[in-house]
Structure 1
Amino acid sequence: MTTDPTPWRDLRAWLRHLAATDRLAAIRKPVSLEHELAAIAKRLDGRQAALFLAPGDHAMPVVSGFMSRREWIAEAMGVAGSELLARFRHAADNPLPWREVDSAAAPCRQVVHDFRNGGLDILDLLPIPTHSEHDYGPYISAGLVIARNPRTGVQNVSINRIQISGPDRLGILILPRHLFAFFQTAEAAGDALEVAIAIGVDPLTALSSQAIAPLDFDELEIAGALHGQPLPVAKCVTNEVRVPAEAEIVIEGRLLPGERSPEGPFGEFPKYYSAREEREVIAIDAVTHRHDPIFHTIIPAEMEHLLLGAIPREATLLAHLQRSFPNVTDVHLSIGGVGRYHLFVQMKKNREGQAKNVILGAFGGHYDLKQVIVVDDDVDVHNPLEVEWAVATRFQADRDLVVVAGAQGSALDPSTTVAFDGNKPPPHWQGFGAKMGLDATKPLTSSEHVFTRVRIPGEFEVDLDEVVSATGTDALTGTPLAER
């Protein structure tokens, strides 16, 4: 498929494009929001996005999986797959400030439901699915949570899992990152933190929300850079947060100080459930949406979920490593490592021992990393079979293994819980574990052809269409196979 050099800035246009290229499946029959919708979307995962036209008792359609292939994300950016990380990194390094538009004219404000007087129920308004077998109940899984730093007013954007806890109450998992810091500041002062949850945004804005950016860096500015023009935003009805003006749906609310309630279990990206714990609470103040909106849900632990997290991290880790090791040429967060935990690094080694330094540098790039494998530049890091081959033939555990004990890792990695009663570590021990690095590079010098890869001259130049018969012939009888 020829790459369109223009980035896709509109969700509905992107969905029409997928439909026109047989990558959007329309499910017209009524489906249950409890498990059935997620089951169908999972079966289509990576092959077609799914558009559910009759979800539960709702007339509002639900879409899932429109970013479930790496090639689709590059296509949405308007670049070749090989340019994906460089394009994202360029946007992160050259953000475009957003452009505020008249809120009254913003598509996301065409319909307003005010929750402040009571009487409304979020589940009556929105078709929110229950995804996995042991999930507590319906969850918003594709909402961009936008909040302002109480001290500076600069926004942060993240995707958090959001449980429907009541008609106007939401439970939320907040990991110790920027949203957590904002809420800590507000709560210490006895204040609520104003938030907005944007659901149904274009592919590049969704991707931008997952950038590994410093505090007081608004990820919506990366979206503008990816779009090639400032992102239009609109002020919320009930608070000061600015949201993508083209969003399908926006939930406005407040993180309540001093209030916690049970949240979970929920099937997370490691393909396990996270425990039910006391977590932060959002009070809903308003829901606004377009006329005839589309609700977006991400099926947990499937390709859309994993790629949205992996690609921005890859771009950040590649830039991080290349600052100290310019001979690092590529990185890949493997899907087998849930797009977070296992990093493959490709490099042109020019010093012995250098790969171990790269391993240690990678661990400093993101605390989620649990395993790093470094390979030579003749190994394709996007092909797990090639990486495994390099480990099998170039790695020896007694000389090439790096182990870091007692390090911070992902709080959602269930293997970090086994030393604690009931597999429930207290918050300050969550994610405590070990990291492993494998130097799977060959030595810089070796005798004769000990580390020369076996190749057959001309294997990639052979024109199989020219040399292979369309029907084939039985060599023993001379009878064309098609006639036997």
Structure 2
Amino acid sequence: MIRDLINSIDNLKVVEKANKKFEITKILAENDGAPTYIKDVNGYEVIGNLCNREIIAKSLGIEVSDLVEYMINALDNEKNGELIVDNELKKEYVSDEVSKISQYPIPTYYEKDAGAYLTSGIVIVKDKDHGINSSIHRILVKDGKLIIRMVEQRHLHYIYNKNIKDGEVDVAIVIGVHPALLLASSTSGDVTFNELKYASALMGAPLKLIKCDTVDLEVPAGEFIIEGKITNKMEEEGPFVDITGTYDTIRQQPVIEITALKRKKEPIFHALLPGGIEHKILMGLPQEPRMYKGIRNTVPSVKQVSLTEGGCCWLHAVVSIEKKTEGDGKNAILAALASHPSLKHVVIVDDDINIHNPSDVEFAIATRVQADKDVVIISDTKGSSLDPSGDHKNKLTAKMGIDATISLRKGNKEEYIRAEIPDIK
């Protein structure tokens, strides 16, 4: 599946060989946002920068401009996604000794990293009450075992705490999957939300699974499959670079004991660059449908929503609306901040502005904003722990909204409209 997608990419960057310590980082950073294929890393093929908006849209057979609406429709049909266990797929795999994980092309990305990290694996667990959960977490590879970063507010942490009283939790980590699975595993729902069914809805086709050998799980047929047990043992995890490109702190996190390794006969390893565009897109893009729906409840004429790359696809957003009344811009600001609590700054623009073009957005701010009337500042509100400028002790930040829509009060909209060159017949 991954190989077919790679073969379909136009202008794929190709590199002959790289070392897994720092050199993969250098190559992916130099080509950030552009899919990059490395033919040989310790004898394995590696793909990086795989998921940008264009590649995700292409993998789903749609246009980039239709992504948010498409995801909303798939979310509405999540329960209708179809999962099929097909153990014939096992014939495509070979088993490795557990110790061989040290030979896999798992990168050490940055100088101060605690070691080699898995960054693109979808982590699958099962709860007897709520079913399957699939999510993405950074995982340190250390001394033949894994140490997984669990964010306290995420469902994996909830399922782990609920089930660890039995001594351990079955887990599988699948590396090298279709972008729909990465997108689905990055999506927040309630604890009953089935990310694998959502991936099926996104793909518009049944999702084929295989049964694991040493744990009670069925998982998508990725390029690499790591089976294991999340234990109640804790070890230091970190430091490691987060989405802002700055280092996160060291914490005590759960240890995963590996019970089995499987891989395709000629696998392609997916290296996801921490702080790169792919990382940002996979964090931010799944939030956009939720924001769109939240804003639409207040401003029905919302057109598009984008969490911007410059804002780490997490802290900054641009929203376009078809303005109907003078208060729509400020209402959209409040709705955007409410629908994505980590959001720090948001700009609301008219629908003639391309929200994916920073120059276009800046033009709207420059020509349609009066700071004393159109800027909203909210002090001491809950913010993102990823913002290094925030008050982390009290978990507070300041937030700002800019209403860069054309004022309806003056009644001279034509003054704001940019000149166009007519078609020449």
Q: TM-score, normalised by structure 2?
A: 0.93
Whether the 8 Å contact between 2:237 and 2:253 is mirrored in structure 1 is yes
Aligned position for 2:65: 82
Aligned position for 1:28: 16
2:216 corresponds to 1:240: yes
Q: Deviations over 1:239-264 (max 9, x none)?
A: 2222102x11111122222x321111
Aligned position for 1:405: 379
Separation in 2, partners of 1:390, 1:400? 12
Whether the 8 Å contact between 1:367 and 1:408 is mirrored in structure 2 is yes
Separation in 2, partners of 1:337, 1:81? 20
The residue correspondences of 1:258-269 to structure 2 (distance < 5 A) are 259-269=233-243
Partner of residue 99 from structure 1, selected from 80, 83, 89: 83
Structure 2: gaps of 5 or more residues = none
Separation in 2, partners of 1:449, 1:249? 57
Q: Deviations over 1:124-165 (max 9, x none)?
A: 3x111111222121111111111223433x112111111112
Aligned position for 1:5: none
Aligned position for 1:218: 194
How far 1:408 sits from its partner (Å)? 2.5
How many residues are aligned here? 424
The residue correspondences of 1:27-426 to structure 2 (distance < 5 A) are 27-29=15-17, 31-47=18-34, 49-55=35-41, 58-68=42-52, 70-95=53-78, 96-103=80-87, 105-107=88-90, 110-113=93-96, 115=98, 120-124=99-103, 126-152=104-130, 154-187=131-164, 189-245=165-221, 247-257=222-232, 259-417=233-391, 425=393
Separation in 1, partners of 2:338, 2:412? 38
Separation in 1, partners of 2:369, 2:263? 55
How far 1:51 sits from its partner (Å)? 2.2
How far 1:97 sits from its partner (Å)? 3.3
Separation in 1, partners of 2:320, 2:390? 28
How far 1:190 sits from its partner (Å)? 5.0
Whether the 8 Å contact between 2:115 and 2:140 is mirrored in structure 1 is yes
Separation in 1, partners of 2:284, 2:178? 18
Structure 1: gaps of 5 or more residues = 1-9, 464-484
Whether the 8 Å contact between 1:101 and 1:233 is mirrored in structure 2 is yes
Q: Which amino acid in structure 1 is aligned with residue 281 of structure 2?
A: L
Report percent identity of matched pairs: 33
Cα distance, 1:399–1:109 mapped onto 2, change above 3 Å: same
Separation in 1, partners of 2:127, 2:268? 30
How far 1:439 sits from its partner (Å)? 1.6
How far 1:59 sits from its partner (Å)? 1.7
Separation in 2, partners of 1:113, 1:23? 30
After TM superposition, the structure 1 stretch with the greater mean CA deviation from structure 2, 70-79 or 350-359, is: 350-359
Cα distance, 1:305–1:169 mapped onto 2, change above 3 Å: closer
2:163 is paired with a residue whose SS is helix
Q: Deviations over 1:312-331 (max 9, x none)?
A: 22122112322332111111
Aligned position for 1:476: none
Q: Which amino acid in structure 2 is aligned with residue 22 of structure 1?
A: N
Runs ≥4 in structure 1, deviation > 4 angstroms? 447-451
Separation in 2, partners of 1:283, 1:413? 33
Separation in 2, partners of 1:214, 1:400? 35
1:335 is paired with a residue whose SS is coil
Aligned position for 2:3: 12
> Larger radius of gyration, structure 1 or 2?
1
Whether the 8 Å contact between 2:406 and 2:416 is mirrored in structure 1 is no
How far 1:332 sits from its partner (Å)? 1.0
Separation in 1, partners of 2:399, 2:160? 30
2:403 corresponds to 1:439: yes
